[in-house]
């Protein structure tokens, strides 16, 4: 009998109450509600985002699920879940920054979950890779962001959670629900904590002007924009500043920082134009090529980033603000069928 009670207690702990179902009371005229019991979700990590996934699971209030990745001698790899996920909602956490193995691992995890009879498969992609290829900007090129969306859906993803897409319209590439989060939720408190006066929000290029205006509206600050021309990808031939930064504390805002060429050039230009200080806020720290050297040598006072992509090394100018609590909270609301709009500061 004791073993039976323990088994029932164990089974009960695998479920949680979500939402409510109205029922008609038998002895009263008022309807009562009954909580719906659903299996508790499980959180798993792709290998490239293991540290972030552990932090998200900790903020969520559960342990990370058990999975493994076997790598063959030729570089091919296989993923496997080490515990049952039948009938459950699972969250698979993995940013899809290059190399393409990171995207492939996410696809294999989704496929494995589908074949293991998971009830819902949510791909949590803090950084959605290949997003810069969101349109045909010249003849005979792919629209990689659309292709990635198709691959995720074909693999079996039933929902996508991501943050600061390079272009908002990428959400339209999916036929499944997409929860698009904004890093402003974590960055605006960080800006407030600096206690700066005479703030001016800046965009390092014309494409980011909408984001800069959104931040400036919340901070009640001025806005300036940099206009740049490129010789080719990651190579700037010319940059001009639209607006006045003299005597201002400038905060550059962008969704990602790759080689840091645009950002550091913009910072140096603004200091030449009389700015008091220049800081930058970037959601996704791709930081490839000579990025770290450029940041160290630039006139940037501070670079504030999130942890959607792990840093290759630490330098004094870079400060990391974790997005784990934000993702954990959104995952709770998704599991509980609750609105997430209250999480958006702008």
Which amino acids are annotated catalytic? 228
* Residue 45 three-state SS: strand
- Cβ pair 191, 251 in contact under 8 A: yes
* Residue 232 three-state SS: strand
- Cβ pair 325, 301 in contact under 8 A: no
- Cβ pair 94, 127 in contact under 8 A: no
**Residue 20 Ramachandran class (φ > 0 left, ψ -120 to 50 alpha, else beta):** beta
Cα torsion for 22, 25, 26, 30, to the nearest 10°?
-130
* Residue 164 three-state SS: coil
Would you state the structure tokens that stand for residue 200, as one six-digit string?
């001016």
Alpha-carbon separation of residue 13 from 34, 41, 85, 91, 151 (angstroms)? 18, 12, 15, 19, 35
Helix ranges restricted to H, 245-313 = 261-272, 291-297
- Cβ pair 245, 272 in contact under 8 A: no
Cα maximum dimension of the chain: 80
């Amino acid at each position: 009998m004791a073993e039976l009670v323990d088994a029932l207690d164990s089974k009960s702990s695998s479920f949680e109450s979500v939402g409510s179902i109205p029922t008609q009371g038998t002895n009263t005229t008022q309807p009562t509600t009954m909580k719906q019991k659903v299996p508790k979700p499980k959180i798993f990590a792709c290998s490239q985002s293991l540290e972030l996934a552990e932090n998200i699971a900790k903020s969520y209030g559960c342990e990370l699920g058990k999975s493994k990745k076997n790598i063959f001698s030729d570089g091919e790899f296989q993923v496997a879940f080490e515990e049952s996920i039948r009938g459950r909602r699972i969250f698979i956490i993995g940013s899809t920054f290059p190399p393409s193995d990171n995207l492939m691992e996410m696809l294999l995890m989704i496929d494995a979950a589908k074949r293991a009879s998971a009830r819902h498969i949510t791909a949590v992609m803090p950084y959605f890779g290949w997003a810069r290829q969101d349109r045909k900007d010249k003849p005979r090129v792919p629209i990689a962001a659309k292709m990635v969306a198709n691959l995720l859906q074909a693999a079996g993803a039933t929902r996508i959670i991501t943050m600061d897409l390079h272009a908002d319209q990428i959400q339209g590439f999916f036929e499944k629900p997409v929860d698009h989060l904004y890093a402003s939720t974590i960055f605006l408190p960080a800006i407030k904590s600096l206690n700066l006066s005479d703030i001016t929000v800046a965009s390092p290029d014309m494409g980011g002007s909408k984001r800069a205006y959104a931040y400036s509206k919340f901070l009640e600050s001025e806005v300036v924009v940099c206009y740049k021309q490129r010789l080719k990808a990651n190579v700037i031939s010319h940059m001009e500043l639209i607006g006045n930064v003299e005597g201002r504390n400038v905060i550059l805002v962008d969704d990602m920082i790759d080689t840091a060429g645009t950002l550091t050039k913009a910072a140096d230009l603004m200091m030449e134009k009389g700015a008091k200080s220049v800081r930058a806020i970037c959601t996704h720290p791709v930081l490839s090529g000579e990025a770290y050297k450029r940041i160290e040598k630039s006139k940037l006072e501070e670079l504030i980033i999130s942890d959607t992509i792990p840093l290759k090394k630490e330098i004094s100018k870079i400060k990391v603000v974790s997005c784990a609590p934000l993702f954990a909270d959104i995952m709770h609301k998704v599991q509980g069928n609750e609105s997430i709009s209250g999480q958006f500061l702008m």
